[in-house]
């Protein structure tokens, strides 16, 4: 049971950091959280067969979170044909309007479900994954974060909150306080110095302080920072960790492309 960060950059891909995508592989299948450009290349580099991916959750329809989807679907189909596997399907869960807008590129291999805000109360359960959308504040786009429980067997269960982009709404914070997710994976597009914080507000993104405050407020054990802008290098990157440590006492990591977390080794109890 593992999680691999496929893309940890923001807005546009760079050589070091592709745009957002995380793959979680439990025992039977893998699930993608967002699908930035180049996701299928990083999957190959991580040694994960595209046919192992069965579920894709899209947090919002900004290009950096979705441009990898069409190439991924094409590779999924081609690889299925070459393996003479016909019955494989890719299940996409996305915000309202996404499935109809993507109709032209979706074939009968794809089953696309829109996660409607009216059904916020409910959890979706597929195989080893149980998940739920939580509204994020990210400008005027319909964006949500994902609370997900992964259970590969009865003994081991890990729960994660992945922010996608933006900051948690009140409803999101209220829910996370009740479940106290073990892991928070949060976008940290900006550091929290004055100018950076102002820019974050302008662009409806989160600072490292927003991420660390949320982790503290909801009693998380681990905070992983991702969605790192290419404007930050070297010393700035060290600042991400030290700034987060001022606020959050748990373990803190700065994700890089292809960094891997073995979820069965994560102790949440
Ligand atoms: Zn966005």
Complete domains list, the chain, with CATH: 2-265 (3.60.15.10)
86 CA distance to ligand 1 middle (Å)? 34
At residue 88, the pLDDT reads: 86
184 CA distance to ligand 1 middle (Å)? 18
The two beta strands, 110-114 and 251-254, are unpaired
60 CA distance to ligand 1 middle (Å)? 7
Tell me which DSSP letter residue 51 carries: G
d(CA 94, CA 142): 10
At residue 118, the pLDDT reads: 61
d(CA 64, CA 164): 11
Q: What stretches in the chain show pLDDT beneath 50?
A: none
81 CA distance to ligand 1 middle (Å)? 34
d(CA 238, CA 142): 32
d(CA 70, CA 167): 28
164 CA distance to ligand 1 middle (Å)? 7
User: How confident is the model over 210-246, as pLDDT tens digits?
Assistant: 999 999 999 999 999 999 988 888 888 889 999 999 9
At residue 121, the pLDDT reads: 66
At residue 153, the pLDDT reads: 64
At residue 110, the pLDDT reads: 92
User: How confident is the model over 168-178, as pLDDT tens digits?
Assistant: 999 999 999 99
Count CA atoms closer than 13 A to 106's CA, side-chain side.
Answer: 15
């Amino acid at each position: 049971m593992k999680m691999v960060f496929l893309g940890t950059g923001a807005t546009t891909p760079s050589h070091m950091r592709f745009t957002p995508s995380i793959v979680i592989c439990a025992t039977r299948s893998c699930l993608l959280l967002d699908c930035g450009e180049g996701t299928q290349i990083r999957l190959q580099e991580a040694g994960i067969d595209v046919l192992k991916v069965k579920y894709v959750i899209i947090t919002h329809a900004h290009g950096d979170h979705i441009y990898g989807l069409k190439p991924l679907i094409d590779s999924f189909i081609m690889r299925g044909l070459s393996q003479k596997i016909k019955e494989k399907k890719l299940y996409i869960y996305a915000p309202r309007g996404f499935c109809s807008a993507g109709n032209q590129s979706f074939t009968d291999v794809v089953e696309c479900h829109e996660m409607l805000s009216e059904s916020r109360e409910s959890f979706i359960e597929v195989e080893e994954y149980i998940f739920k959308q939580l509204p994020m504040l990210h400008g005027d786009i319909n964006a949500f974060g994902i609370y997900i429980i992964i259970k590969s067997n009865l003994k081991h269960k890990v729960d994660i909150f992945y922010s996608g982009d933006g900051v948690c709404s009140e409803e999101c914070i209220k829910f996370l306080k009740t479940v106290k997710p073990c892991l928070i994976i949060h976008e940290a597009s900006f550091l929290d110095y004055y100018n950076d914080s102002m820019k974050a507000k302008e662009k409806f993104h989160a600072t490292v302080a927003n991420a660390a405050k949320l982790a503290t407020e909801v009693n998380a054990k681990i905070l992983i920072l991702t969605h790192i802008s290419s404007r930050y290098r070297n010393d700035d990157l060290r600042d991400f960790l030290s700034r987060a440590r001022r606020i959050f006492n748990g373990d803190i990591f700065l994700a890089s492309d292809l960094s891997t977390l073995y979820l069965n080794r994560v102790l949440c109890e």
